Amino acid sequence: MELKVYRDTLCAGGGCCTVKAEIPLETEILISDYLPQVFKVVKCFARPVVLQKQLQPGRLSLEGYVRCTVYYQGEDGAGLCQAEQKLPFSRALELPGFDFVAWSAAVEGQTEYINCRAVNPRRIEVRGAYGLVASVYTQQSAEAVTALSGCGIQQRQVTLRGVRRAAVLDKLFAAEGTAAFPEPPATVLEISGSAAVSEVKLLEGKAVVKGEIRAHCAWKAQASPALQSQEASLPFSQILDIEGLGGDCSCLCAVEPVGFTLAEGQEGGPARLSATAMLHLRAWRPYELACVADAFSTQCEVQCETASLTAEQLACTLDETASVRCSGPLPDEETRLLACFASFGPARLETEGEAPVLKARVEVTAFGQNSLGEIDSYDKSAELALPLPGCPAGAEGYPECWLSAEQLEASCAGGQLEVTVGARVQGAVLTRSSMPCLCGAEAGAPLAAADPDISLRVYYAQAGEALFDIARRYHVSPAQMLAANGLDAQAETLTAPCRLLVPGAPGH
């Protein structure tokens, strides 16, 4: 007897892991002559920007820089000032040696410790360490049995539904524009911003992405130490060559500003503003594959080999805004608020009740001047919680998200700091589900001939039993059992206890 086995390959969920690495922070920042001298160091921040990621068997290579920003109080009433430096890094992180056909890696982390001091009024020394955390998710090629024929084979099929990563692109690009100030700024304390993607057009092997970067400048005029705010819009359009991309893909695109540069305009015109931003594009192609979950024969013994196949699904895409509030007392009731910034920790999935929720830590740093004229920083934190109604409850999953502060409102009255952050969440949530399927089958010895004295058997079935399992016990086809008992041809599971007639079956 010949049993024919038909196979196909699918893109299944592969290995996942989280690895850590430490980046030393050791540098000296020289204060330019056009900036005020240092009276007091107030706060130092470190933020990594990953420019390149490369996954090889057993290794993830990262290249980028850490943006080290120091805020200080300037001498002679200059107020809050800022200086920064970029520290390049290159790291190779050891991983388990799993095979993959597609992958994605989210790199985040936090400052482990940082010491910052003014060596002299024109030189600041920074010493510390930043902990990188890389979460790697892969997809691998897996083989499944899609059909069997011959030998009186009976099979139960299931449909695996999932997505294959068609594109994982992180591209650094620049956008340019102008910023019109009411008067020439003496000092620009900080330029931050957010981005909005207005159009993503998918073509065969290409994508066109359009949108704008919204820059927010905190600056001071020559005659006043008070901070002022100015906004500017920088449009962008990117044409991306991406092999394997097509119009049938589900796609998301997020743009994350990572740096800004301001230069004087020509002949007293508007200042020239340029932004460096990281474009994150992810695309998935859906698939369906009919696989054999179980099989037996009415003519011979069959040896089946089963393996668990994991399909990765795109549970939901995100482009949501949530409001987060945090507050707390300040040591001096007469503190005058100067500036306020927000940053976000890694996004994670949690379950509240039975509902999945996306959570992330929001860290707020406020700068204020106390009654003695000294500038200090104050850190407050809160939790962002975004319900995910489109995500299935209880599923194993992970987020691939980018968070930014679109709005930030801060006030200080009576020594109480109140901050509201309008957080924008862009990205996707992917889930994984596993299903046992056949990966191999072989025909064995023929079954014994049916007993001629037994033409019919009776089986007392219980509610919830599968007709396929009952048929396999007696080596008769499920179709014969359905017909013998007058059941619906599509019936698979019994809904109530009943007595089933089993047609003549091979002997045992």
DSSP letter for each residue of 426-465: EEEEEEEEEEEEEEEEEEEEEPBPPPTT--EEEEEE-TT-
pLDDT of residue 312: 94
CATH of domain 449-503: 3.10.350.10
Task: In the chain, list all ranges with CATH 3.10.350.10.
Answer: 449-503
Which is it for the CA torsion 435, 441, 447, 450, positive or negative?
Answer: positive
- Spatial CA neighbour of 96 closest among 172, 168, 14: 14
Quote the tokens at residue 96: 């388990």
Distances (CA, A) of 484 to 454, 480, 487: 15, 6, 8
d(CA 66, CA 23): 9
Alpha helices in 168-273, H assignment, sequence order: none
Instruction: Give the per-residue pLDDT at 506.
Output: 62
pLDDT of residue 1: 65
The pLDDT score that the predictor gives to residue 508 is: 47
The rounded average pLDDT for each run of 10 residues, N- to C-terminus, in the chain (508 residues) is 90 92 95 92 95 93 95 91 94 92 92 95 96 94 94 93 94 94 86 92 93 92 82 96 90 93 83 95 95 94 93 92 92 91 91 89 94 93 91 85 91 91 94 93 88 77 90 90 86 87 69
